[in-house]
Amino acid sequence: MAEQSHSLRDLPGRALPGTARKSTSPAGEDTYRKLIYFMPTALVQVDSRAAGAAFDQLRAAGVRDIASYLETHPELVETANDTVLVTDVNREAVSLFNGRNQADLIRPVRYLFAGTPEMARRVMIAHFEGRRNYTEAAKIITFDGQVRDVIFALTYPTPPEQQDITFITISDITERLRTEAQLWQLQADYAHAARISTLGELTTSIAHEVKQPLAAIVTNGETALRWLARDDFDVAKIKQLTSRIVESAYHASDIVQRIRSMALRAAPEKVALDLKAVTAEAITFLRHDIEARKVTLAIDMPQVLPGIIGDRIQLQQVIVNLLLNSIQAIDQAGNNERRIAISVSLLADNRLAFTVHDSGPGINDANLERLFDSFFTTKDGGMGIGLAICRSIVIAHGGEISAANHPAGGAQFRLELPTASIEHFGVR
């Protein structure tokens, strides 16, 4: 795309068109003009020939990397802001900017970029590179000072089209983002409540995880004291014991930190994560339970996995919940085989499949449909929120969760999560 040749010829002889309604057009075009005027999407028509002329000069002067050029010559962006002109707008655009009439908006483009000034530069780069379209989520400032979230979508002219018409559609997504933020917050609060309840089920396991390094610290400390009380004490020995104490103390502190972040009500983040590490951390919460209940845990993961985008704590929560369910199912079945198999595989469409298969009794067919519903439970004293939370977390991560009975027996839960290589438009 970027290679597409786009010779922006200077067209000095042409006059700027007036607003469309004044020009004489065939009847068909007039109809389109009317439709465009009343369209419920804000449309802005821009004459960017001033920028085009400047670009031609830059190219002639040998400039190829426009991004770094504009970085060192910000004045060019400033000039463009004052010389590139809005030549026409429709009714919705006037209303979006809270203008009184079209004339309010027909002026240099600077006001379009007032909410996101850096966007002007990116719009120029796309133009210089000869791209057909450029889209960006941005903010605008209306004439009465309100900030609105919008999506800017530009369509640049390509020869032999008229060089004086760049089209911009501006979609107001303020309400959508507000609703999304509320939902995300609500989901986060709900997930947090469920996490606290899960932590409650894990206190024995967690206490065990913390007590192990503490026991090592105490014993090493006391051993060091015993050495020091002897006449023949060996400095190297004391050094070794002390560094083991430090190591175990850091280990204990890591565990406490992990528990703390599970218990905290932090705003969820979307960051690049290594599913392998997230899984390993989730397992520390359950290791004692797994051992105490004599469950064998097998993990099958490819050596190299692409990253996933999401909230570390929430994804850990999903894994902890699934494993806890499996452990409980295995206890319930009371079979000799007590086994959980976790496997991760990369799917063709850049998604990861994460499955948990247990040797429990499986899921009653009648319950399969309702398994992920809130307040549906088959456990005594269960609240029926664990899997509902799992589903809401996975969906918020752009993934899917499903449950089935494995042909070899037992239940199998399957997550599909997008990898970091898939971009999500509009997600922030």
Partner 1 sequence: MPFPPIIAVIEDDEAVRAALSELLEVSSLACRTYDRAEVFLAEFDSERFHCLITDLHLPGISGLELQQKLRAMGSETPIIVITSSGDPASRMRALQEGAFAYLTKPFNDAVLIAHVMAALKVAPESGGSDVGGQS
> Residues interacting with partner 1, by CB under 8 A?
204, 207-208, 211-220, 222-223, 226-227, 230, 241, 244, 247-248, 251, 288, 291-292, 294
Minimum CB distance to partner 1, residue 305 (Å): 26
Rounded to a whole number of angstroms, the minimum distance from the CB of residue 216 to partner 1 is 4
Shortest Å, Cβ 215 to partner 1: 4
Minimum CB–partner distance for residue 329 and partner 1 (Å): 20
Cβ closer to partner 1: 196 or 218?
A: 218
**How far is residue 169's CA from residue 162's CA, in Å, rounded to a whole number?**
18
CA gap 346, 198 in Å, rounded: 29
Which residue in this structure is represented by tokens 């997930």? 191
Q: Which is nearer to partner 1, 216 or 404 (CB)?
A: 216
* Euclidean distance between CA atoms 323 and 340, whole angstroms: 8
132 DSSP 8-state letter:
S
Q: What whole-number distance in Å separates Cα of residue 379 and Cα of residue 377?
A: 6
Residue closer to partner 1 (CB basis): 180 or 247 = 247
- Determine the Cα–Cα distance for residues 85 and 88; give it in Å rounded to an integer: 9
Shortest separation between residue 223's beta carbon and partner 1, angstroms: 5
Q: Which is nearer to partner 1, 136 or 201 (CB)?
A: 201
Cα end-to-end distance, the chain, whole Å: 26
- Write down the least CB distance from residue 307 to partner 1, Å: 30
Taking Cα atoms as reference points, which of 343, 342, 334, 354 lies closest to residue 294?
334
Pairing between strand 166-172 and 147-155?
A: antiparallel
Any idea what DSSP says for residue 411?
E
**C-beta of 206 vs 396, nearer to partner 1:** 206
Task: For partner 1, give the closer residue by CB, 213 or 310.
Answer: 213
CB 361 within 8 A of CB 332: yes
